[in-house]
A and B are shown apart, each in its own frame.
Chain A
Amino acid sequence: MKAAAYALGAALVAVGLGGLLAHAADTRPLGWLAWFAGVVIAHDFVLVPAVLALAALLTRAPARYRTPARAAAVIGGILALVSLPLVLGFGRSSANPSQLPLPYGRNLLIVLSVIAIAGGAVIGRRAWSARARRTAGDTDRDERPS
């Protein structure tokens, strides 16, 4: 069973590599290899270190605000990353205005603002309830018989 699965997996990898080489005019194996390795290098040595650095910055926030701040940063960051090609707009064509028809930079800013406001609202609520708890705690202490 396990051997059969290994064989199937290895066979599929071989089919893929074989297909890439057999259709070299379309797949340009050397250019393919540069991208295949390049995306890993970009992820492991650029994107992750950048996220680690940002995450380190966020740890300076008080502990109870960190989770909403991280959630908003991660969701907003991924949306920005995925829509970056739209915002840069290299795919726009003056001959075909139905291709990339929207103002993506503005739209991304609006979406990021909504996420920031949502994250800010959670942080605000936590700050508010923390203050309320502190105040209630003070009152309790005041009411305690001395």
Chain B
Amino acid sequence: MVRRVELIGRSFSSRLHDERVSAWLGIWLGASFAAAFVTGLISHFMQHPAGWLVWPSRPVNLYRVTQGVHVIGGLATVPLLLAKLWVAYPKLWQWPPLRSLGHAIERGFVALLVAGSLFELVTGVLNIDYWYPFPFNFPAAHYWTAYIVTGALIIHIVNQASAVRRSVGRAPAGATGDAGGGLTRRGLFAVVAGASGAVAAVTVGETVSPLAGLAVLAPRRPGVGPQHLPVNKTATAARVTRTALDPGWRLAVAGGSIRGLSLSLADLRGMPRHEVRLPISCVEGWSAEATWAGVRVRDVLEMAGADPHARITVESLEPGGRYRTSPLDWPHWHDPRTLLAIELGGAPLALDHGYPCRLIAPDRPGAMQTKWLARLTIT
């Protein structure tokens, strides 16, 4: 479909504002958004598991990888989206703006797609940088807007499918050589790839630790924090400083028809000690591995006589907050690497890492590695 682009639209003479460039950028952008949507859903349903949904505890690094793809991939999508919008920009000024009801509906969905895409990337970047200038709760707004973007994207793909087939299948019409000193199509693709690569290069080290030294523009650096591990929520912010340092601290295990247990720190130290190497994999995309030691959750729950398929609720000393408790399903609590950790790197946990005792489990979002444990409730 050849659009009549008049007035301002007509003055965009660059060969970059054409169907073929737009189609290729669209294909790459569509793939990026699909990956972000799928990894985003994984993250959402890991943090808010439905009753019918039981996540596996292996592979250990599954969430680390999916969330790394979501965040670092999302960052690398910024240049792609900006290039795509740049190429499509003259269409904003098409004349007449609305030719028919069908055209109005089509443009309405494009508006949702453009606004939603920008919204997701802008709020995502601000969130990983801990800057919240918006009035809404980030996860809720980012999550629901993703459905709008995906729906509008599907409609856009259907509308553009024939144009994409037409332009991608054939050889480029114009010259690909020197475009009067400007960027050629191939040059544009190279610049977009270069920008995406550059953005990824200076951030990916926040989750791929061998590249940590390159992560000069990442909001986290593995190895930086108390006991060489980054902290998300501090004990002060969680308002647990007094209760966590109380020498009378006990971990309660209760609920269902089981024998209730009340374990002191000395009791936990007296039980079989296990050491695991597991990452904290944050929803914000960073991750860092550490060596933890403590008691297997399995050993404690078997001692209490919990049903093997029970769902456990892990509760923190925190007086409130969205992540005061977290659900622990049977694949996770049976996993021999799931610990009630009391040591980090061979020393007692730092207060900000959950002293006296925290949960550490494989394949689990960091916010659900509940710190400052108070109670395991069997439901």
Task: Please tell me if the beta carbons of A75 and B226 are within 8 angstroms of each other in the complex.
Answer: no
**Chain B residue contacts of A92, Cβ below 8 A:** 130
Does B304 have its Cβ within 8 Å of any Cβ on chain A? no
A43 in contact with B237 given A67-B181, A74-B191, A110-B216 (CB within 8 Å): no
Q: Are B217 and A111 in contact (CB under 8 A)?
A: yes
The verdict on B85 contacting chain A, using a C-beta distance below 8 Å, is yes
Judge if A23 is at the interface, Cβ distance under 8 Å. yes
A42 CA to B135 CA in the complex, in Å? 18
Q: Are A107 and B220 in contact (CB under 8 A)?
A: no
**Is the CB of A101 closer than 8 A to any CB of chain B?**
yes
User: Given contacts A70-B191, A74-B191, A111-B202, is CB(A43)–CB(B85) below 8 Å?
Assistant: yes
Residues 87-130 of A, flagged 1 when their CB comes within 8 A of B and 0 if not, give 01011110111111110100110110001000000000000000
Q: Are B187 and A36 in contact (CB under 8 A)?
A: no
- Chain A minimum-CB-distance residue to B222: A98
Q: Are the CB atoms of A10 and B151 closer together than 8 Å?
A: yes
Contact (A12, B183) CB under 8 Å given A27-B141, A74-B191? no
Q: Which residue of A lies closest to B112 (CB)?
A: A13
Chain A residue with the shortest CB-CB distance to B37: A12
Contact of A71 among B122, B145, B181, B191 (CB under 8 A): B191
Q: A78-B79, A85-B126, A100-B130 are contacts. A20–B154 as well, Cβ < 8 Å?
A: no
User: B50 an interface residue at 8 Å Cβ cutoff?
Assistant: no
CB-defined A-B contacts under 8 Å, sample of 27: A5-B158, A8-B151, A8-B154, A15-B151, A16-B147, A19-B144, A27-B141, A28-B137, A31-B136, A35-B119, A35-B141, A37-B115, A39-B115, A43-B85, A48-B85, A59-B181, A67-B184, A70-B183, A71-B183, A71-B190, A71-B194, A74-B195, A85-B129, A85-B131, A86-B219, A99-B232, A107-B216
Can you list the 10 inter-chain pairs with the closest CB atoms, starting with the nearest?
A: A63-B181, A91-B130, A12-B151, A16-B147, A31-B135, A98-B225, A16-B148, A13-B151, A9-B154, A26-B140
Residues of A near any B CB (own CB < 8 A): 2, 5-6, 8-17, 19-20, 23, 26-28, 31-32, 35-37, 39-40, 43-44, 48, 51, 59, 62-64, 66-67, 70-71, 74-75, 78-79, 81-83, 85-86, 88, 90-93, 95-102, 104, 107-108, 110-111, 115
